[in-house]
Every structure is written in C-alpha cells, then in structure tokens.
Amino acid sequence: MKLPIKKKYFDAIKNGEKELEFRDAHITFVCEETGKTLRKEIWRVDLLSRERLRHKIRNEIVHKEFDELFEDDVIVMFDLK
C-alpha cells in the first residue's frame, strides 16, 4: 500500500516519533483499464494473516494469483459500505 504523506510526517514516522496515522474512511478505486473512479466508504478494518486469508478465499482464487496479489504476511481487509 502506498500512501502520500507530507515530508514532516514521513520523517517523524521514519525517526520513530509518530506511531499513529489517521486517514479519511474511504477508498477511491481507479480502474486500470478505463481510468474510471469509484469512491467507497469503509465501515470496518481488520487484519488477517496470509494463511487465514488464503483459507477464507480458497475457492475464489488460485494460488498463483493469490501470491501475485499479496506479498506481506499480514493483509488489511476493508469492509466497504
């Protein structure tokens, strides 16, 4: 996940002086093919281990695609309104 951030906050995070980050509770999705955007509100966030998520969506996605989508051991799940 890449988030733009002002330099002073970036430096504070880098130096261990800032440990919390707050953002508006929405995601703007951008279609890669058309460039169209869709804004969705988030009403809950959860963290899942990579293996728990793999088990949760085991019938929806093949393992190769899963490995291409996710690289971290912990995945952020956003429940959208």
Instruction: Tell me the pLDDT tens digit for each residue of 13-65.
Output: 999 999 999 999 999 999 999 999 999 999 999 999 998 998 888 777 777 78
Judge whether 61 and 50 are in contact, CB under 8 Å: no
Instruction: Tell me the pLDDT tens digit for each residue of 59-72.
Output: 777 777 888 888 89
Domain ranges (residues) in the chain: 7-80
Which secondary-structure segment (H or E) carries 13? Answer: helix 7-14
pTM of the predicted protein model: 0.69
Q: How much is the pLDDT for 40? A: 96
